[in-house]
Amino acid sequence: MDAHRLLQQSTEFIKGVGAARAALLARELDIHTWEDVLYHFPFRYIDRRTFQKISEVHVQLGMVQLCGRLRDVVHSGTGRGQRLTAWLNDGTGEIPLVWFQGIDRLFGLLKLGQEYVVFGRPVAYRDELSMPHPEITPRDRFLEQGAGLSLYPVYPGTEKLRKNRIESRFFSQTTRFVLEKAHAGVSDYLPSEIRAHHRLLERQKAMWGIHHPQSEREAFESRHRLKFDELFYLQFGLVHNKIKRQSGSRGHRFGLVGEMVNSFYTHHLPFSLTEAQKRVIREIRSDMGTGRQMNRLLQGDVGSGKTIVALMAMLLAIDNGFQACLMAPTEVLAVQHEQSISELVRNMPVRVALLTGNVRAKERRALLQDLQAGEIHILVGTHALIEPPVVFAQLGLAIIDEQHRFGVAQRAALWAKNNPPPHVLVMTATPIPRTLAMTQYGDLDLSVIDELPAGRRPIMTRHVLDRQRLSVFQFLREQIALGRQIYIVYPMIEEGDDEQMKYLMDGYESVSRAFPVPDYQVSIVHGRMKPDDKQMEMQRFAAGKTNIMVATTVIEVGVNVPNASVMLVENAERFGLSQLHQLRGRVGRGAEQSYCLLMTANEPKGESIRRIEALCSTTDGFKIAEIDLQLRGPGDLTGTQQSGMLDLSLADLRTDEVLIAETRRAVEQLLSQYSDYSKPPLSLLLMGYQAQKSRHKNWGEIS
């Protein structure tokens, strides 16, 4: 069998694996083939040239290497309860080495007083350290073999695998087996000029070197090469798609600035636009005027005024005879968008409609009919918009608000709603660090609203403790007396969580007691309420009929009640940083001084204190996003699970900014030089891309 085919075989056929362990690997780590084994990379190495002092060993170290003499060897128990214990002493301390199998053979071999090198994982039982089943080699032999010269790779694994003795040593052995038999199957599609220019190892060498490095340098260079490929092909897909769309000239040309835009601008605009809003509108207009499809990411911190920009873009589409849609991540937000847009255009001949999962069948049918007949100009909704029965007469512009709840796949579903595809504007309130902009959104053009409307006062943010609750409530009363409104938000990580639900209801009760009717009105909104009830409560709060809104994070995104001036976050330590920033963004939307109070039960520890400090120290969303990226990594940054994001196995958006920029430049250069995908180098790179994509579930398709 040739090496490529070998790599596609089941792990069952690796020496020392077999059916049971193969099944376990598949279940625990999604490792099925020989090739999958190679792509299970070590995350660090243990230097086998050095020895740990026994006095400094603890379980958190994982694998450790020790050197000492055996003080005593004892064979105890009978039958299955047999064990062999050898006490290793290195002068700093002593640790028992324990075996439950292969006892007879070892018992004969181990010599008291002799020096041994021992390698294994210490465990603790009732504070007593021991080391089960270590590798043990007489020191002379260890030195002779040169075993002391190499680095020992440490692989990620699971508790279950460890129990079945599938750990680093296992992966080290299986990768060696696979590479010895089939390393020729590891293909390198990168042009040699690129390899030379970036001083990259050959891919086969790198695959050896990441699993079996002889030196730190080799380990580093091998990882670098494989990481380069990962980022390079990611950029290849992104830049390819971007160029394709830009040059494809398949896009509506919105050449006309007509009645809608003009009359809105002169008669209905409720305030004057900020310079940043004007600039962004110009960028969008010029995109949509070229006849190429727009794919633009609009970044603007919470409260920067993205809605009006979206509306102006939609009016431009209508002026040119097209429909537009606006997709929001939650029902609450969709409803609110629909209302505020309807309000803004109420004296204009523009028909706005709302479509969510809760629109009733009869209404829905009528709505879909009107939509298809072109009688609805602007359709606002949730992801119900991308479902197949939703057919537009002529969709010219699709806007996605608060993109971070949507994946790349949903974006693609919108493109498919019309032929040629609609212009796409993605709006996000989570400022995006450079590395994320180059990866997650690397196929989009970028516009930034970097200015808040005039007259906004920075929100004052304070950390308060639960025991200060009385004075906090007093402060809330003062604010209410001034005519302002209050949000009190409880964590609800999972909407179905009973314990959190109880906590929320307890909170609601105690707030209701502290703010009793008829002097105060308190609303509550959470995910388990019926949409209509939720809507009604939101409505009452927005209309100023209630003073306090007790809620979960359902109000996190986008909700706009300018009269609300205090955001009190309960158990603030449970929220992520950008989540807190989003929540804070719900206040400070009017001209009044606003406050954000982050309440915790006790003095918080660890990362939560850093999050709270970060929030108290700045209101700059960009700084917060950077800190968040550093603290939590990109997966959590946007509040989605890793699964919704690009997955990267080697690269780290926190630390690989330079390499990301470098690979992007390399790809841009190549794609400006070559365009024929049937010939090298692009034909090869396409294969390299496909190979990488098959290992990264959330990469976009090259089209």
Evaluate whether 355 touches 367 at the Cβ level (below 8 Å). yes
Question: 53: exposed, middle or buried (C-beta count within 10 Å: 0-12, 13-18, 19+)?
Answer: middle
Told to check if 700 binds ligand ADP by CB under 6 A, we report no
d(CA 111, CA 128): 24
Q: Is 303 an interacting residue with respect to ligand ADP (CB under 6 A)?
A: yes
State the binding partner of 274 from ligand ADP, Mg ion, none, CB within 5 to 8 A by kind: ligand ADP
User: Which part of the chain contacts Mg ion (CB under 5 A), choosing from 276-284, 406-414, 487-495, 556-564?
Assistant: 556-564
Q: Phi, psi at residue 647, to the nearest 5°?
A: -95, 140
Return the bridge partners of 398, or none. Answer: 325, 424
Binding segment for Mg ion (CB under 5 A), chosen from 127-135, 378-386, 528-536, 555-563, is 555-563
User: Using CB under 6 A, which residues numbered 582 to 621 contact ligand ADP?
Assistant: 589
Q: Checking DSSP bridges between strand 548-551 and strand 485-489, what pairing results, if any?
A: parallel
Residue 93 or 544: the one with the smaller Cβ distance to ligand ADP is 544
Q: Does 300 bind ligand ADP (CB under 6 A)?
A: yes
Q: Is residue 558 within the footprint of Mg ion (CB under 5 A)?
A: yes
**Residues 639-678 as x/- pattern, contact with Mg ion by CB under 5 A:** ----------------------------------------
Locate tokens 């603007």: which residue?
A: 300
Select the residue interacting with ligand ADP from 150, 222, 307, 546 (CB under 6 A).
Answer: 307
> Residue 90 half-sphere exposure, CB side, CA atoms within 13 Å?
18
Q: What are the residue ranges of helices labelled H in 433-584?
A: 434-439, 469-481, 498-514, 531-542, 577-584
Is 297:426 a contact under the CB 8 Å cutoff? yes
- 329 is an interface residue for ligand ADP by CB under 6 A: no
Residue 385, contacted partner among ligand ADP, Mg ion, none, CB below 5-8 A by kind: none
Tell me which of Mg ion, ligand ADP, none is bound by residue 507, counting a contact when its beta carbon lies within the kind-specific cut-off of 5 to 8 angstroms.
none
Q: What is the 3-state secondary structure (H, E, C) of 12-76?
A: HHCCCCHHHHHHHHHHHHCCCEHHHHHCCCCCEEEECCCCCCHHHCCHHHCCEEEEEEEEEEEEE
The listed partner (Mg ion, ligand ADP, none) that binds 453, CB under 5 to 8 Å by sort, is ligand ADP
Q: Does 302 engage in binding with ligand ADP (CB under 6 A)?
A: yes
Least Å distance, CB 431 to ligand ADP, is 11
Q: Does 297 bind ligand ADP (CB under 6 A)?
A: no
Q: Which DSSP category does 10 fall into?
A: B
CB of 536 to ligand ADP, least distance (A): 21
To the nearest whole angstrom, how small is the minimum distance from the Cβ of residue 553 to ligand ADP? Answer: 16
303 binds Mg ion (CB under 5 A): no
172 is a contact residue toward ligand ADP (CB under 6 A): no
Q: Which of 560, 563, 690, 698 binds ligand ADP (CB under 6 A)?
A: 560
Three-state DSSP class for 692?
helix
Cβ neighbour number for residue 247 with a 10 Å cutoff: 10
End-to-end C-alpha distance for the chain, whole angstroms: 33
Q: Considering the rule CB under 6 A, would residue 562 count as an interface residue with ligand ADP? A: yes
Compute the distance between CA of residue 464 and CA of residue 101 in angstroms, rounded to an integer: 57
Q: Which residues contact 23 (CB under 8 A, 6 or more apart)?
A: none
The entry of Mg ion, ligand ADP, none that residue 562 binds, CB within 5 to 8 Å by partner kind: ligand ADP
- Of the pair 43, 271, the CB lying nearest ligand ADP is at 271
CB 97 within 8 A of CB 107: no
Residue 486 binds which of Mg ion, ligand ADP, none (CB < 5-8 A, kind-dependent): none
How far is it, in rounded angstroms, from Cα 531 to Cα 551? 14
Residue nearest to ligand ADP (CB): 305
**Of 219 and 559, CB closest to ligand ADP:** 559
Residues numbered 421-460 forming contacts with ligand ADP, rule: CB under 6 A: 429, 453
Determine if 213 is a binding residue for Mg ion (CB under 5 A): no
Site residues for ligand ADP per CB under 6 A: 271, 273-274, 277, 300, 302-308, 429, 453, 560, 562, 589
Site residues for Mg ion per CB under 5 A: 558
